A and B are shown apart, each in its own frame.
Chain A
Amino acid sequence: MSDFFEVVWPLGRTRTPQRQEQSAEVKAAKALDGLNGATIGFAYDYAFRGDEMFEAVKAAVRERGENASYVDYEVFDNIHGLHESETVAAIPGLLAKHRVDTLVVGVGA
């Protein structure tokens, strides 16, 4: 074996779109002007004390004097549990059914 090598690339081409395409894609959902009258949904992976965090969000909204309504995490089921893919896929339908204006998802990555 010689001591001079010409070598090829060991990775695979990524299918992730370029950054410009991503930016255009994710601008679709706009934030709310305020939370008064809004419906906030909570989706949860049933870990890392997210249920306590969601309650703190509700308390903070009340303290701001805003009157929001909530769709609790049980409605969306455990997003990191049995049938995870199906559970996540069902989220858009549940958001529409419960007229959710914005969604808080926790916890982890």
Chain B
Amino acid sequence: MLRACKVAEDAGVPAVAIVATGFMAQAKAIAKLIHATAVPLCEYPGVPALDPDDIFTVKVREKLVPQILQALTAGRDEAEVADEPDAALDPATPAVPAQRDIVFRGSLEAVQNEFERQGWMDGLPVVPPTLEQVDRFLEFTDRPADELLGVVPPQDREATVWNVAVNGVMAGCRPEYMPILIAIAECIADPNFRIQDAGATPGWEPLVIVSGPLTTDLDFNSTVGAMRLGRRANSTLGRFTRMFFRNIAGLVIPPGDTDKGTFGSGMHVALAENDAAVHEMGWPSFREDRGFSAADTVVTVQSCLAVSAPIYSGGNTGLQCMETIVKIMGDVQTPWAFNGLWFDQWHPLVVMSPAVADVFAKDGWTKDDVRRYLYENVKIEAHWFERYPWHIGGGKPFTLAGWVAEGRIGPEYALSDDPGRLIPMMPRAETINVVVAGDPGRNQSKVYVNNHEQGAPTSRRVDLPGNWQELLGRERGRWAGTE
């Protein structure tokens, strides 16, 4: 919304923004970041979607509108604008340190305390990022330390090979994960990922998926407990990703004001595809689905808004297994899936244990068959899609029939005017993703729900340094205590 004000101001047209109380701090922060600090912020006091009509009317007439009229005219310069100092947006360090500058010296406990005080951590103790540790990480890439990987909103901070290594150290990664860390950072910095929306109220989290031979070389867990803390590669790469959101993108929960995730969720674990299993059953790997070679290792980062309950599937045919997958996939996506139509993007991820995937493969189903069946059979009653936007924000009602008439969606969404009619929950089959992982001995799947265009799956090939094998051998030696 502030961006709309900004483009108007740049065009010489004064603009004012209406902001509900809960978003005032974030609005000020965003205004500073996009250089729109003179835009008056007119506050609606409270939560407009929850106020009764009579209260809403009084607040608008007596509180909000006077601010707007004042801001539109001569009183503009007296309206509230985002010009207050904001410590959360500026490095507490007076001057921006150079790469190799030492910013703090102290004991392990003192480092933790200082990083906590500065807001440079995720709330868990960090590994101190010493020059020695960072340099070990940098050995695992041929790319220069000062190479710019992207400028990452909302704080528009530079993501570099250097600060990727620093945060990798802090997250507890091993040095040889560095090529994967760089790929993760590149995914996040890609405009397709829309990191600027990661502080939105749904509170989505980053989900990292690693597919390829490095999952074996770097000891990822892709089997029992695949999404559980316990294996260093999975655990620390997931932690790094969230730390990157905070330290590089600058998405900070209170006392910061750039992250408005209502709840968010907890621990992050990188998901590794079970490469052997997927090839054994004759399905293409996830990286091949994403357009890469089977010989590559590919990182994909996407948003994750919700995780389904365990989906147990009985039977020895694809149709039998689909009974529960269809039901529970619909349950977890909830009416929130209307956003798939609203934004024309929806990328749910179905993770099948090898045992379940094997049933499909042996029954002759391709991954495309799975996608198509889910698209055609995961449905919701139409009234939910039309009503749920009102619950979210009291916004302007829309009808599916109206969207069909406008050509935004297909005729299948308005085959009758029965509000209880069943309509497809997902806009298309092609963007349903399937990964094979988890306990090979159990008949379970799970669905991970992305947040439409926000955190759309974004992939990068992992590039290794020329002396990868030598470096890896050395680190393994250290690990084994022989160096």
Which of A's residues lie within 8 Å of B, judged by CB? 3-17, 19, 21-23, 25-35, 40-41, 43-53, 56-57, 60-61, 64, 76, 79-82, 84, 88-89, 91-92, 95-96, 100-109
A48 to B73, Cβ gap below 8 A? no
- Nearest A residue to B131, CB-CB: A8
B105 to A31, Cβ gap below 8 A? no
Given A19-B37, A56-B65, A103-B8, output 13 extra A-B contacts at Cβ < 8 Å: A4-B106, A6-B104, A11-B120, A13-B96, A26-B35, A29-B12, A31-B74, A32-B14, A33-B74, A52-B56, A91-B8, A95-B11, A109-B23
Which one of B13, B56, B66 lies within 8 Å of A103 (CB-CB)?
Answer: B13
Complex CA gap A49/B158 in Å reads 37
Q: Within the complex, what minimum Cβ distance (angstroms) separates A20 from chain B?
A: 11
A92 to B11, Cβ gap below 8 A? yes
Which residues of B in the span 80-101 have a Cβ within 8 Å of any Cβ on A?
83, 89-91, 93, 96-97, 99-101
Count of CB-CB pairs between chains A and B under 8 Å: 272
Complex CA gap A13/B162 in Å reads 11
B393 to A48, Cβ gap below 8 A? yes
Q: 10 shortest A-B CB distances, which residue pairs?
A: A47-B393, A106-B18, A31-B76, A109-B23, A12-B157, A26-B38, A92-B11, A5-B128, A47-B395, A109-B27
Query: Which candidate, B148-156, B281-289, B299-307, is the interface stretch facing chain A?
Result: B148-156
B395 to A53, Cβ gap below 8 A? no
- Nearest A residue to B170, CB-CB: A10
Contacts of B39 in A (CB 8 A): 26
The 18 sampled A-B contact pairs (Cβ below 8 Å) are: A8-B130, A10-B120, A10-B166, A14-B91, A26-B37, A28-B12, A35-B73, A47-B393, A60-B65, A92-B8, A103-B16, A105-B1, A107-B19, A107-B48, A108-B1, A109-B1, A109-B24, A109-B27
A14 to B156, Cβ gap below 8 A? yes
Contacts of A95 in B (CB 8 A): 8, 11, 13
Complex CA gap A60/B18 in Å reads 16
The interface size of chain B toward A, counting residues with CB under 8 Å, comes to 103
Any A CB within 8 A of the CB of B365: no
Contacts of A91 in B (CB 8 A): 4, 7-8, 11
A9 to B97, Cβ gap below 8 A? yes
Which one of A48, A49, A105 lies within 8 Å of B4 (CB-CB)?
Answer: A105
B158 to A27, Cβ gap below 8 A? no
B73 to A22, Cβ gap below 8 A? no
Complex CA gap A61/B70 in Å reads 11
Any A CB within 8 A of the CB of B102: yes
- Nearest B residue to A80, CB-CB: B1
Complex CA gap A82/B8 in Å reads 20
Complex CA gap A33/B115 in Å reads 50
Which one of B19, B73, B134 lies within 8 Å of A31 (CB-CB)?
Answer: B73
Any A CB within 8 A of the CB of B294: no
Q: Within the complex, what minimum Cβ distance (angstroms) separates A22 from chain B?
A: 5
Complex CA gap A28/B13 in Å reads 9
- Nearest A residue to B260, CB-CB: A109
Contacts of A104 in B (CB 8 A): 15-16, 18, 68, 72
Any A CB within 8 A of the CB of B163: yes
Complex CA gap A90/B23 in Å reads 25
- Nearest A residue to B191, CB-CB: A85
Complex CA gap A22/B178 in Å reads 37
Contacts of B158 in A (CB 8 A): 12-15
Complex CA gap A99/B193 in Å reads 35
Q: Within the complex, what minimum Cβ distance (angstroms) separates B160 from chain A?
A: 6
Complex CA gap A57/B71 in Å reads 12
